[in-house]
Amino acid sequence: MAVCNACKFENTSGTKFCIQCGLALTADAKGGDELTPNPNPEVMQAETEALLKRVAHESGFDHKETAAGHRITVSLGGDRKQRVHVTFNGHDDDGHDIISFLSICGEFDAKHVESLMRANAKLLYGAFAVRTIKGKDYFVMTSNQLAETADLQEIRKILFEVARRADGVEERISGGKDVF
């Protein structure tokens, strides 16, 4: 884990820039200590980014570029929506570039841990986890995709499944509120 000095977000090992705020986490990352978008071109693959934007556009999802990547707001039917944060600043254990998808479900509460861990055993896309964001622990739904094998269908499916699963937990633990 690499904890960001600015926002205290717990990033995965090998990440050069904070997923939450964009701060450089390693000495070899360009940008020093400034809060800047991820300028790492070997990871921010233009064709993968174009696929993500195309999926958002074709699906009617709101898309916004952020300091750390992209935020896609997925419409889930009715009045429900869920934000999915997509970043391109990580690698798997073999050094392959990965696209990371993350959606916040709600504030951490130990009474929900067992049910989420049991749910993980049945998930095809992603997993529930706990992440510290701006000094607070949250349940999140997260998934990774190899950038080199990404295609429109897979990105669309991951975005939707991460959003749907995160929103289901959010709805349950927030008493029906649509916060994230």
Q: How far apart are CA 165 and CA 106, in angstroms?
A: 12
Q: What average pLDDT score do residues 129-139 get? A: 88
- Counting Cα atoms < 13 Å in the Cβ hemisphere of 24 gives 12
Using one digit for the tens of pLDDT, what is the confidence trace for 165-178?
999 999 998 888 88
Q: Is the overall model pTM greater than 0.85, yes or no?
A: no
Is residue 151 a contact partner of residue 101, using CB atoms and an 8 Å limit? no
Least confident of 71-75, 87-91, 159-163, 175-179: 87-91
Using one digit for the tens of pLDDT, what is the confidence trace for 137-173?
999 999 999 988 888 899 999 999 999 999 999 999 8
* Polymer length in residues for the chain: 180
**DSSP states of 75-135 as a string?**
EEETTEEEEEEEEEEEE-TTS-EEEEEEEEEEE--GGGHHHHHHHHTT-SS-EEEEEEETT
What's residue 22's pLDDT?
A: 56
* Domain map (residue ranges) of the chain: 43-174
What's residue 35's pLDDT?
A: 26
What's residue 46's pLDDT?
A: 74
CATH architecture of the domain with range 43-174: 2-Layer Sandwich (3.30)
